[in-house]
C-alpha cells in the first residue's frame, strides 16, 4: 500500500488522546512510506494526521471542496492540495488516489466516508481494503451494529469481511496488506443475490 485515504474527524474532542492518536497515525504511516490522502483540512484530527505525517517527512495529499477552502479551513501545508467542486468529487478522488481506506475516530462525515467505501467495495467499484481502527473502543457499537446487520441477513456472506477492524494500527495495517478482494455484487448471478 503506497497511499491510504485516512477518514477522521475535523473536530477536536476534549479528550486529548484522539488528537494524539491522529498525529501518531500520520507519523507512523509516513515512517512506513505510506502516503496520506485525507480531507485537506487543518482542524481537528484531520489536521493532526496531516501534521504528524508531514513532520515525519511523509507525503500528504489533501482533497477539499471549494466551499471549505473559502471557509479558510484548508491546510496549505500539504504536499499537494486538490480543490474539488463538492463532496462527491472529494470521495471519488479518495478512491482514485489511494490503495485502501483507514478510518479512525470521527463524526458524521467520517461515517459517510466509511460507509461509502464499504458500499463501493460491496458493489465492485473498488477492491481495496477498508480498515477501521477501533482505538479506545470508539467503534465498539458500530462493529456490533455491523455484526447485527450480518446476523439479520442484510450483509451477504461474501461481504461480511469487508470492514477489517483492529484496535492496534500495526495489526490493522498487516491485515489490510493481506486483503484479498471478495466477490462483488456486480459479479454475482441473480440467484446469488
What averages of pLDDT result for each successive group of 10 residues across the chain (193 residues)? 97 97 98 98 96 98 92 90 95 97 97 97 96 98 98 96 98 97 88 77
What is the pLDDT, as a whole number, of residue 193? 75
φ, ψ for residue 176 (rounded to 5)?
Answer: -65, -40
Contact 101/8 with Cβ under 8 angstroms?
no
- In a domain, residue 187? The reply is no
Locate all alpha helices (DSSP H) within 98-139, ordered by sequence: 108-123
d(CA 83, CA 92) in angstroms, rounded, equals 13
142: containing domain: 3-180
What is the pLDDT, as a whole number, of residue 187? 87
- In a domain, residue 119? The reply is yes
Distances from the Cα of 53 to the Cαs of 68, 137, 168, in angstroms? Answer: 22, 24, 18
Contact 111/103 with Cβ under 8 angstroms?
no
The CA-based dihedral angle spanning residues 40, 25, 44, 78, taken in that order and rounded to the nearest 10 degrees? -30
Bridge partners, residue 63, by sequence: 82
What is the pLDDT, as a whole number, of residue 104? 98
- In a domain, residue 188? The reply is no
CATH number for the domain that contains residue 125: 3.40.50.450
Locate all alpha helices (DSSP H) within the chain, ordered by sequence: 16-31, 44-55, 66-70, 87-97, 108-123, 140-152, 169-177
- In a domain, residue 149? The reply is yes
What is the pLDDT, as a whole number, of residue 66? 93
Number of domains forming the structure of the chain: 1
What is the pLDDT, as a whole number, of residue 155? 96
For 127, other C-beta atoms within 10 Å of its C-beta total: 12
Instruction: Give the three-class secondary structure for 88.
Output: helix
- In a domain, residue 186? The reply is no
d(CA 122, CA 112) in angstroms, rounded, equals 15
Amino acid at each position: 500500500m503506497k497511499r491510504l485515504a485516512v477518514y477522521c474527524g475535523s473536530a477536536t474532542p476534549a479528550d486529548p488522546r484522539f488528537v494524539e492518536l491522529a498525529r501518531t497515525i500520520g507519523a507512523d504511516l509516513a515512517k512506513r512510506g505510506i502516503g496520506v490522502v485525507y480531507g485537506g483540512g487543518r482542524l481537528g484530527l484531520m489536521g493532526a494526521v496531516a501534521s504528524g505525517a508531514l513532520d515525519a517527512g511523509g507525503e500528504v495529499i489533501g482533497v477539499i471542496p471549494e466551499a471549505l477552502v473559502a471557509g479558510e479551513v484548508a491546510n496549505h501545508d500539504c504536499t499537494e492540495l486538490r480543490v474539488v467542486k463538492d463532496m462527491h468529487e472529494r470521495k471519488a478522488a479518495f478512491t482514485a488516489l489511494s490503495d485502501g481506506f483507514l478510518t479512525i475516530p470521527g463524526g458524521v462525515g467520517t461515517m459517510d466516508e466509511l460507509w461509502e467505501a464499504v458500499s463501493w467495495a460491496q458493489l465492485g467499484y473498488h477492491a481495496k481494503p477498508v480498515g477501521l481502527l477501533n482505538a479506545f473502543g470508539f467503534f465498539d457499537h458500530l462493529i456490533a451494529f455491523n455484526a447485527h446487520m450480518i446476523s439479520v441477513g442484510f450483509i451477504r456472506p461474501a461481504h461480511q469481511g469487508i470492514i477489517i477492524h483492529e484496535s492496534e494500527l500495526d495489526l490493522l495495517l498487516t491485515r489490510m496488506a493481506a486483503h484479498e478482494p471478495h466477490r462483488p455484487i456486480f459479479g454475482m448471478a441473480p440467484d446469488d443475490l
